[in-house]
Amino acid sequence: MSSPRCGVQDAWGQRVSRHRRKKRYAHTGEKWHKRHLTYRIMNGPRNLSPSQVHVAVKTAFQLWSNVSGLIFQELQHGPADIRLAFFEGEHNDGTGNAFDGPGGTLAHAFFPFRGEAHFDMSERWTLNGLKGHNLFLVTAHEIGHTLGLVHSPVRHALMSPYYKKMGSNTLLSWDDITAVQQLYGKPPGDSVQPLGGRALRWTMQDWQIFQDSKGGSLTPHYCQGYFDAITTDEDGTVLVFQGSRFWTVSNGSVSAPLPLQMRWPQLSLAIEAAAFSPLDSKLYFFKGRRIWRYSRSDLDPGFPMKSSDLGLPNHPDCAFFYHPLGHMVLFRGSRYYVLNLESLSVEPYYPRALRDWKGLPRGLNGALTRPDGKLYFFKEQQYWRFDPEKVRITAAGRWTESLPWVGCHTTPSLQGNDIL
């Protein structure tokens, strides 16, 4: 029985064995003559919800924008550059493009400028790849065709005629990346962020679990007591980050886990700190030696920047906007730094000793300011509430039990240990 493959003909004129190697013809020469492309999901398969299809398709487009100069925008109505639709059998593409039922050809697409990708409705589509065909991977492959990429003879390339499985390695090979960059250039700042299969597989599995458990009491993974960072966005929604995923929490209601780079293109996975600034309505992310700044979902020009260029340390523990100072504060080990967001430089006479913040431990993994002005600091399963007016800790406890706005509050009777 033949392996499922793409219905697009191979560039060398015939379908070839997976084990046969040919010279690489990276692309057709046809390409879009713009960098901002729109797409629209026309319909979806029977066994996946619209939200599942949305996350699979958006993440598939993100896979390509992370390594190229392209920007993709989803449209709900009207004409779009790229349209994705599900059909059965003959669907007015000619008999040669008719779908053949379960197995065999899963999908096909057209090069610019037709901008269409068609998927076999009769297949069993999934997000985790355990029973059926991974919609994310197949969509990512077909998007490559709509951008002008042909099939690759490189065995492990995403653009191989035969669909690859979701392994732990980076999904785009050097061949895929070179091909798309020949057509559309590199991303801003040459910040290439290829996505790994393991992280994306976790994300897709989380979405599958979320859909299968609707109506149940399943709590987010971070409620087990650990997350990478926490902050709010411009709308006051709490954002919780863990690995390749993030959750939104609003009025105690938690979203499904979402791919980090679906909302913030080119952002590195497993960030170390995040903070929202009400001064400029921007989100700041920190990891390793770099800083990212976003206006909603758009990476600001000139970013990511090196932490050292701003006088900041590498690998910060946490970051937050501190209203009494009107600046951003970062903790690192036994010291803290105050960052002037207008000059993007550390304020004079900093860093200072962390003991200025009496009662706070080292190694915090998150901090944010609530609407009442109180600061909340997190370390593993513990939290500390800091009152800027009293300049001291006023409450502490287990955040999974005591803070319903974090999204894990399953026992309303449990409260934090209020000090004053």
38 versus 218: the higher-pLDDT residue is 38
Residue 107: name the closest of 63, 131, 137, 72 by CA.
137
The token duo for 1 is: 């029985």
Q: What is the pLDDT of residue 115?
A: 92
Pairing of strands 71-74, 36-41: parallel
- Confidence at 303, pLDDT banded by 50, 70, 90: very high
CA distance 13 to 21: 14
Q: Give residue limits of the domains in the chain.
A: 5-202, 219-418
> Is the link from the previous residue into 304 a cis peptide, with omega within 30 of 0?
yes
Residue 340 has pLDDT above 70, yes or no: yes
Which residues are paired to 320 by β-bridges?
329
C-beta separation of 23 from 154 below 8 A: no
- Confidence at 61, pLDDT banded by 50, 70, 90: very high
Lowest mean pLDDT among 19-23, 269-273, 388-392, 405-409: 19-23
Q: What is the pLDDT of residue 399?
A: 92
Residue 225 has pLDDT above 90, yes or no: no
Task: Just give the CATH number of 219-418.
Answer: 2.110.10.10
Alpha-carbon distance values, 78 to 39, 312, 387 (Å) = 10, 46, 50
Rounded to two decimals, the pTM is: 0.56
Kindly calculate the radius of gyration of the chain based on its CA atoms and give it in whole angstroms: 24
Do the domains at 5-202 and 219-418 have one common CATH topology?
no
The token duo for 193 is: 């962020």
Q: What is the pLDDT of residue 128?
A: 66
Residue 233: name the closest of 296, 327, 325 by CA.
296
CA distance 233 to 285: 12
The token duo for 9 is: 């003909």
* pLDDT cut 90: percent of the chain above it: 49
CA distance 53 to 47: 10
- Confidence at 51, pLDDT banded by 50, 70, 90: confident
DSSP letters spanning 297-327: TEEPTT-SEEGGGGTPPSS-SEEEEETTTTE
Q: What is the pLDDT of residue 215?
A: 45
CA distance 399 to 243: 20
Q: What is the pLDDT of residue 64?
A: 93
Out of 123, 142, 272, 401, the active site residue is: 142
Q: What is the pLDDT of residue 419?
A: 39
CA distance 83 to 75: 10
225 versus 51: the higher-pLDDT residue is 51
Residue 240 has pLDDT above 50, yes or no: yes
> How many angstroms separate the first and last alpha carbons of the chain?
71
Read off the pLDDT of residues 263-281 as tens digits, 9 standing for 90 and up: 898 888 889 999 999 999 9
Mean pLDDT of the chain: 82
Q: What is the pLDDT of residue 28?
A: 55
Entry field: residues in the chain: 420
Return the DSSP state at 262. H
Return the DSSP state at 224. G
DSSP, collapsed to helix, strand or coil, labels residue 368 as strand
DSSP letters spanning 378-415: EETTEEEEEETTTTEEEEEEEHHHH-GGGT----TT--
Read off the pLDDT of residues 160-207 as tens digits, 9 standing for 90 and up: 887 766 654 557 888 999 999 999 998 876 555 555 555 555 555 554
389 is catalytic: no
Task: Just give the CATH number of 5-202.
Answer: 3.40.390.10
